[in-house]
Every structure is written in C-alpha cells, then in structure tokens.
Amino acid sequence: MVKADERSEAGVLLEAEGLHPTSKGARLTFSRGKPTVTDGPFPETRDLLAGFWMIQAKSKKEAIEWGSRAPFGDGAQLEIRQVFEMSDFPAEILPPEGAAREHALREELTRKAAKA
C-alpha cells in the first residue's frame, strides 16, 4: 500500500479531500439561464461527475451565489459540497500527531503546486 506522503513526493497527489454528506450541500439546476436551488440530501445518482471546482466561500449561501453565476445551459447541475477540515474531527478520531502529519502534507502539496 502506498502512503499519501509517497504519492505527494512522486508528484501524483494534487488534492486529498473528503466531502461532507450531501445533506449539508445544495444543487443548482439551470433552466433558461436561471438556477433553481435544491437543498440536500440527494438520492444516489448514476450520473457521471465530469469535474469539480473548488472555491473558498464564507458560507453555503455565498457558495450558492457564486455557483449561480456559472455559465451552464439548460439541464446542467452544479452540486455544492463542503470540504472537511482538520477541526471537524475530534481528537479520538484524529489525534494531534495525526493532524500535525496532515498539516505537514498539505504544506508540502502547496509548495509543490506553487512550483508547477
């Protein structure tokens, strides 16, 4: 098994994030140039996720406002999900030494991305 830091050193790992459940998210469905907001949770989907944008917003409302500006056509959907942060995990799940390793890995990924 390859460790995350080995993938980072090889330049393969660009981002390693977990997403909060869809119950905390929202979907924007576009019709006639206007978005309709549907709050999660969402049922399982068979649709392919073709890609993602990662933005930093102060709130779900702000993320929805930014998403509403997306240049998508009729029927397109944009799903908004929150990324887990280390502070989301209690110490019994992610002890301080694990959080420190994760922080060091993220700093290394940031340094490598800046060089690219």
Query: Tokens 């460790």, residue?
Result: 3
Q: In this structure, are residues 65 and 26 in contact, taking their beta carbons and an 8 Å threshold?
A: no
Q: Give the start-to-end residue ranges of the domains of the chain.
A: 1-13+85-116, 19-83
Could you tell me the two tokens for 64?
């929805």
**What's the CA angle centered on 69, arms 68 and 72, to 5 degrees?**
90
Q: What average pLDDT score do residues 82-90 get?
A: 83
How many angstroms separate the Cα of 72 from the Cα of each of 35, 63, 76? 9, 16, 6
Question: How many angstroms from the chain centroid is the CA of residue 60?
Answer: 13
The per-residue pLDDT for 2 is 43
User: Is 80 exceeded by the pLDDT of residue 7?
Assistant: no
User: Is 50 exceeded by the pLDDT of residue 104?
Assistant: yes
Residues across the chain: 116
The per-residue pLDDT for 12 is 58
Q: What average pLDDT score do residues 95-109 get?
A: 85
Q: What average pLDDT score do residues 74-101 get?
A: 85
